[in-house]
Chain A
């Protein structure tokens, strides 16, 4: 099975460094690149061709909500997960309006992020039940 390519977008290197091994140690995923903000993700997406993008919400230059529609325009089949410290109904509403497919709180990284990524890339909906 071909590994799904993952682009990690977060301005905090510690967060990227903690999330990267979750994907790299999984047999179905490989991290194809990292970006520090939405604009960098938009610039890198055409050449990296990720299957899945894990997007932070609050970032310098361009946040995750503003980057999402641009990323979908570049890669219409890409899956987008908003990985955010600011979870709640309002964030979810804004995220889905921007075309993002799932919202995972950063507090649930170890327990929910990979499960959601698997579900999306297998084109299933994941009922995490954390909200």
Chain B
């Protein structure tokens, strides 16, 4: 099966930003749920790798920003119940 995930050699944190970028750029509503789950999973696994590292402040901040964006997409595009109400 061909991998149609977009890649960008300029990504600073490619371990998760490839999947994250794919979710942000997905225009097919049928594919968006799986893109979002893949991005969430990549971020989760990366967070576990960073858990015991004293470094990675910039990446942690980038992950936090990314999670806000994914949360917005889940609520606005997929109709997840809004927990901030």
Contacts and interface: CB of A to CB of B under 8 A. Distances in A.
Interface of A: 11-15, 18, 57-66, 85-86, 90, 94, 106-111
A40 to B, nearest CB: 14
Interface string B44-81: 11011011100000001001000110010011001111
Interface stretch (B1-9, B22-30, B35-43): B35-43
Contacts of B51: 107-111
A107 B81 contact: no
Contacts of B74: 58, 60
Nearest to A59: B80
A11 B45 CA distance: 15
A11 B40 CA distance: 10
Contact of A58 (B48, B63, B71): B71
Interface of B: 37, 40-41, 43-45, 47-48, 50-52, 60, 63, 67-68, 71, 74-75, 78-81, 83-84
- Residue in B44, B47, B60 with the greatest tally of chain A CB atoms within 10 Å: B44
Nearest to A67: B81
Given A58-B71, A107-B51, A85 B44 contact: yes
A61 B83 CA distance: 12
Mostly, the B contact residues are helix
Contact of B80 (A14, A18, A63): A63
18 contacts: A11-B37, A12-B41, A12-B44, A14-B41, A14-B44, A14-B45, A58-B71, A58-B74, A60-B79, A60-B80, A63-B80, A85-B43, A86-B83, A94-B83, A106-B44, A107-B48, A107-B63, A111-B52
Contacts of B50: 107
Contacts of B84: 90
Contact of B47 (A66, A86, A107): A107
- Residue in A14, A15, A59, A85 with the greatest tally of chain B CB atoms within 10 Å: A85
B37 A14 contact: yes
B71 A15 contact: no
